[in-house]
């Protein structure tokens, strides 16, 4: 059919033209930004005549490394250290800011350029501006920088590449894109191995300085004390993300086994010293030298026991296996209690109270989430076995106590602290809130009022992280359906089955939330009038 071929060819040409016009229009928007006055000296520098031609590509226009003004870059870096550094302290503030101030084109010529791009990608979407670019354009730019960082890091192995990918992981996790996050985390793990970071942390590069049982490796030594400390922190942050993001999972995770002696990050006060502080032969390696190191001890050592326990299998129909599991569970719990008791009496913890409240919040929330993850599968028996075994009331009480403890922490935190909290705390809060709801649903008891605090915590976190908004929507729906039979619930049935961890059901909840959003957009738009209808649609998913 010649006419069909001609029509197809014509349609293809029209699509190409439309794409070209859309592309040029977007570039014109980006280039028009500098003409508007701004309190931040403009987000973008004026484009040169050579780059203002419509023939230049979209990539060159959007992510040309000279496109962001030096003042804006400095502001974004300061934003990183004000809002992110307390729970993601892998960079040396003074060194990085000095590089930005002293380099006329830090996104092009600086060895830290890939790190700076990662900071821009993370901070730009949430950076308040009274002038263009608008939020949609900033999200677009963030995505452009994120993708560029990943491609550059894959092709260039270095400490800076690893740091940049670690920073970028916050974008994917905060957006609830866990598959993408896990892919980036796997890249970080492999890069750390190639850079010999575990050799540094575990054996202090003994194979470089003296006879050692370790084989020699062709790796460059840190050139400065700052670089050495940044390598230590990059290693531990990778391990933290690996352990925290998989909390509650029952499959084999391949986590790094803890060692008795390891090189921990230095005290945060010392870490704030300038590069020329040469009086120290080392920043120090005490694992309790800061709140962050205490957090590392919890996540990489204590949670390792929880991970190992959850990976064990047992016969849910066997009374003998159930008793064995209960004994092992109690033993792990006792170890966690001992750690917490010793941690609260450490002198370093009192120092941390004066310097890093956000880290202490992370310690408490993580600890409580670990308790719930540890006990939840044994607290309420699987469907069909309730009549045989019945609930384990000790496990229920330990979970409820942990949930209450977490709600107390949320109550004591300001809205600003909750908004700026690590996205990795979102799942912890959800784990506790879910237990409140499932416990009340299965046992037909009242939902604890503390649930409102946890939902409020997620709502406040959602000011920055979409992941929190999505999980808040799930919880609000469960609250609205409190009296609805399980078979009629709109939520995935796995939500009410504590044999599944929150991580196990995340994909099902994501699909549910996406479908709900799509349905809401469909029914709330009048195709004739072209305006939103007044409806009584899925409002329960939007407010509690």
Partners of 44 in the β-ladder: 68
Token couple for 312: 């064990």
For residue 236, count other CB atoms closer than 10 A to its CB.
Answer: 25
Chain centre to alpha carbon of residue 11? 43
Using DSSP, state whether 259 is helix, strand or coil: coil
* CA quadruple 52, 55, 56, 61: dihedral sign: positive
C-alpha 53: how far from chain center = 39
Euclidean distance between CA atoms 351 and 274, whole angstroms: 21
Instruction: Output the six-digit token pair for 302.
Output: 């204590």
Cis peptide before 437, with omega less than 30 degrees from 0?
Answer: no
Mapped to the 3 state alphabet, what secondary structure does 337-406 carry?
Answer: HHHHHHHHHCHHHHHHHCCCHHHHHHHHHHHHHHHHHHHHHHHCCCCCCHHHHCCCHHHHHHHHHHHHHH
Residue 381's closest CA among 498, 505, 251? 498
Residues paired with residue 525 on neighbouring β-strands, in sequence order: 532
Q: Residue 39 has what pLDDT?
A: 36
Listed in sequence order, the residues at least 6 apart from 193 whose beta carbon sits closer than 8 Å to its beta carbon are: none
Measured between its terminal Cα atoms, the distance across the chain in Å is 59
Question: Which positions ≥6 away from 501 have C-beta within 8 Å?
Answer: 248, 249, 250, 310, 373, 376
Please give the backbone phi and psi of residue 44, each rounded to the nearest 5 degrees, phi first.
-125, 145
Tokens of 228: 């050495």
Neighbouring-strand partners of residue 68: 44
With the C-alpha atoms ordered 304, 245, 189, 312, is the resulting torsion angle positive or negative? positive
Joined tokens for residue 530: 């072209």
Q: Rounded CA gap, 249 and 369, in Å?
A: 13
Picking from 137, 130, 113, 121, the residue whose alpha carbon sits closest to that of residue 58 is 137
Q: Tokens 């109550």 — which residue?
A: 411
User: Cα–Cα distance between 163 and 498 in angstroms, integer?
Assistant: 36
Report residue 295 as tokens: 């957090």
CB 329 within 8 A of CB 309: yes
**Tens-binned pLDDT, residue by residue, of the chain (544 aa):** 444 444 555 545 654 554 454 444 333 323 333 333 333 334 444 333 333 333 333 333 334 444 688 888 999 999 999 999 999 999 999 999 999 999 888 988 889 999 999 999 999 998 765 555 777 888 899 999 999 999 999 999 999 999 999 999 999 999 999 999 999 999 999 999 999 898 888 876 665 555 556 666 667 778 888 899 999 999 999 999 999 999 998 877 778 888 877 888 887 777 877 654 444 445 444 445 678 888 999 999 999 999 999 998 888 777 888 889 999 999 999 999 999 988 776 544 444 444 457 888 999 999 999 999 999 999 987 665 545 567 899 999 999 999 999 999 999 999 999 999 999 999 999 999 999 999 999 999 999 999 999 999 999 999 999 999 999 999 999 999 999 999 999 999 999 999 999 999 999 999 999 998 887 666 544 444 444 443 333 344 444 6
Cα separations (Å) of 520 from 333, 514, 515, 535? 44, 10, 9, 10
CB-count exposure of residue 333 (10 Å: 0-12, 13-18, 19+): buried
């Amino acid at each position: 059919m010649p006419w069909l071929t001609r029509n197809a060819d014509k349609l293809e040409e029209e699509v190409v033209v439309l794409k070209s016009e859309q592309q040029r229009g977007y570039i014109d928007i980006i280039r028009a930004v500098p003409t508007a006055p701004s309190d931040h000296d403009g987000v973008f520098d004026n484009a040169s005549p050579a780059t203002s031609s419509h023939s230049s590509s979209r990539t060159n226009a959007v992510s040309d490394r000279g496109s962001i003004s030096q003042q804006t870059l400095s502001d974004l870096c300061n934003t990183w250290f004000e809002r992110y550094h307390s729970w993601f302290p892998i960079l040396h503030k003074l060194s990085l800011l000095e590089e930005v101030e002293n380099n006329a084109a830090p996104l092009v010529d600086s060895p830290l350029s890939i790190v700076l791009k990662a900071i821009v990608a993370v901070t730009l979407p949430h950076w308040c501006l009274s002038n263009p670019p608008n939020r949609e354009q900033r999200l677009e730019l963030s995505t452009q920088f994120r993708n560029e960082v990943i491609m550059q890091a894959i092709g260039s192995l270095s400490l800076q590449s690893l740091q940049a990918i670690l920073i970028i992981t916050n974008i994917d996790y905060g957006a609830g894109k866990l598959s993408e996050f896990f892919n980036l985390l796997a890249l970080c793990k492999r890069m750390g191995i190639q850079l010999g970071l575990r050799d540094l942390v575990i054996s202090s590069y003994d194979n470089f300085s003296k006879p050692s049982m370790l084989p020699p490796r062709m790796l460059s030594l840190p050139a400065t004390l700052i670089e050495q400390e940044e390598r230590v922190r990059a290693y531990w942050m990778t391990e933290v993300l690996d352990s925290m993001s998989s909390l509650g999972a029952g499959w084999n995770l391949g986590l790094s086994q803890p060692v008795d002696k390891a090189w921990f990050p230095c005290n945060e006060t010392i870490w704030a010293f300038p590069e020329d502080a040469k009086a120290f032969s080392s920043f120090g390696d005490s694992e309790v030298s800061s709140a962050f190191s205490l957090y590392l001890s919890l996540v990489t050592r204590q949670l390792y026991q929880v991970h190992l326990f959850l990976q064990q299998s047992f016969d849910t129909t066997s009374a003998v296996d159930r008793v064995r599991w209960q004994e092992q569970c109690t033993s792990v719990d006792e170890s966690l209690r001992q750690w917490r008791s010793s941690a609260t009496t450490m002198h370093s913890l009192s120092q941390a109270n004066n310097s890093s409240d956000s880290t202490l919040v992370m310690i408490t929330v993580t600890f409580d989430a670990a308790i719930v993850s540890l006990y939840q599968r044994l607290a309420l028996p699987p469907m069909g076995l309730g009549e045989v075994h019945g609930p384990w009331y000790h496990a229920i009480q330990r979970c409820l106590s942990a949930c209450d403890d977490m709600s107390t922490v949320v109550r004591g935190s300001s809205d600003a602290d909750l908004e700026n909290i690590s996205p990795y705390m979102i799942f912890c809060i959800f784990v506790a809130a879910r237990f409140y709801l499932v416990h009340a649903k299965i046992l037909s008891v009242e939902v604890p009022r503390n649930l409102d605090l946890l939902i409020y915590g997620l709502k406040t976190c959602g000011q920055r992280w979409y992941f929190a908004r999505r999980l808040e929507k799930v919880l609000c729906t469960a609250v609205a359906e409190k009296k609805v039979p399980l078979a009629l619930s709109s939520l995935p049935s796995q939500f009410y089955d504590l044999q599944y961890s929150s991580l196990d059901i995340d994909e099902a909840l994501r699909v549910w939330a996406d479908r709900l959003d799509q349905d809401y957009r469909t029914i709330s738009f009048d195709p004739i009038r072209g305006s939103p209808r007044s409806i009584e649609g899925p409002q329960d998913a939007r407010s509690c």
